[in-house]
Structure formats: C-alpha cells, structure tokens
Chain A
Amino acid sequence: AQSVTQLDSQVPVFEEAPVELRCNYSSSVSVYLFWYVQYPNQGLQLLLKYLSGSTLVKGINGFEAEFNKSQTSFHLRKPSVHISDTAEYFCAAGDQTGANNLFFGTGTRLTVIP
C-alpha cells in the first residue's frame, strides 16, 4: 500500500522569501505524484503533477517540484512567495497498478506573512 507523508503541518514564511514544502512517499511500484492547493472555502486545485520524464516539474503560480526517486521525495518549491499563496497544500500519489485512487498527505498550511 502507498502512503504520503508531509512532515510540516504549518509553514510560516515572509512575503518574497523562498519556500519548500516537503513530501515523501512510500510505494513498491512506480508512482504518479501530484500537488494540490486548497484556498479557503474552495476545492482542491491541481498545482502540478509528475507522471514520467523530466524530474523537475513546473506548475501554476510559479511553483515547481522535483521528483527524487532515491529519496522518495517530491518537494514543492517557490523562489518568492506572495500573500495570495497562503493556503493548504496537499501532496498526493497514485500508482500504476491499475488503481485510480489517490493517497493524500495530511497537508501543509502555508502562511505568507507581509
């Protein structure tokens, strides 16, 4: 079975500073990896995804993530955050065994401080 770990439940960061939100996964098979963002009172919106190919994935709103198979990680980064980036961020994994459900982490609350 898969599991996804987001070690940081809350990350405060000053505006225009860089940020990294950590995600680790465990899986015995090849995985698909996703980052979703949830703004207050809204649903989950896809930021970016890794299916195969280049390990550096670029997404919306200036975010990017790097798939590291040896460290089983898929950390999310942004070089300069904005107030509007304040939200909950979820890492999720799906596998290639035929199942089409996603396993989510517990989420990281990013708070951008003016």
Chain B
Amino acid sequence: EPEVTQTPSHQVTQMGQEVILRCVPISNHLYFYWYRQILGQKVEFLVSFYNNEISEKSEIFDDQFSVERPDGSNFTLKIRSTKLEDSAMYFCASSVLGQGTEAFFGQGTRLTVV
C-alpha cells in the first residue's frame, strides 16, 4: 500500500540552526501539506502546496518557514533559524485532490530544538 514517508524520524538541533524536514508524498497525489503538533497540543495546519506553489498557509507559517518540491518526488519543510518553540512533531500529508478528500499522513518527524 502506498504511503507517505518522512525522514528523519527524530532530529535534534541547536537553537538558531537551519533544519530541513523531508517527505516523499504518494506518487499520484497533487496536494501536499505540513502540520505540526507541539507536545500535548492539537495538530495544527502549517501550509498546503499545489501545482508547485503554496495554496494556503496559517499564521504559524511565517518567514522562518519555507517549503519546496525540489525534484518532483520530495517535499521539504525548511525552518531557517530554529527557536525553542519550534520543538514539535511535524507531519507531512498528501491527498489526490483538495477539499473533502482523504489526506494520507506520514509517521512524523520529531524536532527537538535545544
């Protein structure tokens, strides 16, 4: 069964460093998403991506964040200068279409900023 894969599963980084979280969406999906979940809090939407550009983004997704689909298979989330409050589980998801269709989620990357 096709699945969304994320690497690494756990990343520890020092405050101020740049991190790149990687995702391989399901191959025939057109919409890609990043969500995050701070420990003990709800899963929050960060950004959606369609047709090689951002289609929606939340208030959380500020200038420190960027997304890219560098090679037609990977979908990356970059945090330019990490802060302690960026520590969270980051989930990548993809869907065939947009609204109303099932989003398939990856296993997540746990980011710890120290």
Interface, chain A (partner B; CB < 8 A): 4, 32, 34, 36, 41-46, 49, 51, 90, 92, 94-96, 98-107
Contact = CB atoms under 8 A, between A and B. Distances in A.
Given A45-B105, A101-B56, A32 B45 contact: no
B19 interface: no
A92 B100 CA distance: 11
A36 B105 contact: yes
A9 to B, nearest CB: 9
Interface string B61-101: 00000000000000000000000000000010101001110
Nearest to B102: A46
Given A43-B4, A43-B106, A98 B91 contact: no
Given A41-B107, A42-B107, A43-B107, A101 B102 contact: no
A49 B100 CA distance: 9
A104 B105 CA distance: 13
Interface residues of B, number: 28
A32 B95 CA distance: 15
A85 B48 CA distance: 31
Given A43-B105, A43-B108, A100 B42 contact: no
B91 A44 contact: yes
B43 A104 contact: yes
Given A43-B107, A100-B55, A105 B100 contact: no
A102 B31 CA distance: 13
Contacts of A43: 4, 6, 91, 105-108
A103 B107 contact: no
A90 B99 contact: no
A36 B104 CA distance: 10
